[in-house]
């Protein structure tokens, strides 16, 4: 479901796909070849949310910005099942694991891997190339080649799958 709020309507690239079972509302911009899967909520009622190109917002994610703090999600980002994102910014080529949470005012750099069930605490700034895990989350080291491969392989599978869903009118 795609809805306007306070006179602001989502802007969705023609090549992007939003499931009919997702809820996208307000001042949202979704880039080329991105996907928003069933049960996901992208709620831009407080502030603008910009989602880059080739970004995957999986089932049951919640993306919600803070008042007066526009949210920027980069290109080639994978936000996996059940994640809750309140970050100020997420860089390019980032993986956010199952049920992870990023709390308000956080900034996640480029090429980062946030492990499943991690809680990135309020105001935390994650440097480029970091592997992050834990609740509360800590930078555990540099992202590994294997983790970078997971991002790449995920993005090789999900965008074509989203295109198939779109072609079939789902």
What's the gap between Cα 66 and its chain centre?
15
Q: What are the strands, taking DSSP E only, across 40-110? A: 41-51, 56-57, 62-64, 71-73, 78-79, 84-85, 89-90, 95-96, 101-102, 107-108
As for how many domains the chain has, the answer is 1
With residue 131 as reference, give the H or E element that holds it: strand 130-133
- pTM score: 0.96
Rounded distance between C-alpha atoms, residue 88 and residue 107, angstroms: 6
Q: What is the CATH number of the domain that holds 68?
A: 2.160.10.10
Split at pLDDT 50, 70, 90, the class of 155 is confident
Write the pLDDT tens digit of every residue in 65-94.
Answer: 999 999 999 999 999 999 999 999 999 999
Domain coverage including residue 70: 2-167
């Amino acid at each position: 479901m795609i809805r306007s709020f306070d006179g602001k309507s989502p802007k969705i690239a023609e090549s992007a796909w939003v499931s009919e079972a997702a809820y996208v509302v307000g001042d949202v911009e979704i880039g080329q070849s991105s996907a928003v899967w069933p049960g996901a909520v992208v709620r831009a009622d407080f502030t603008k949310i910009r989602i880059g190109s080739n970004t995957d917002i999986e089932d049951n994610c919640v993306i919600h910005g803070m008042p007066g703090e526009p949210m920027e999600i980069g290109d080639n980002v994978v936000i996996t099942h059940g994640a809750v994102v309140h970050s100020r910014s997420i860089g390019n080529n980032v993986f956010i694991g199952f049920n992870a949470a990023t709390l308000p005012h956080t900034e996640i750099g480029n090429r980062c891997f946030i492990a499943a069930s991690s809680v990135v605490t309020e105001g935390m700034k994650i440097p480029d190339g970091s592997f992050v895990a834990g609740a509360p989350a800590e930078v555990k080291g540099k992202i590994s080649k294997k983790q970078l491969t997971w991002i790449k392989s995920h993005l090789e599978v999900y965008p074509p799958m989203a295109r198939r869903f779109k072609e079939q009118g789902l």
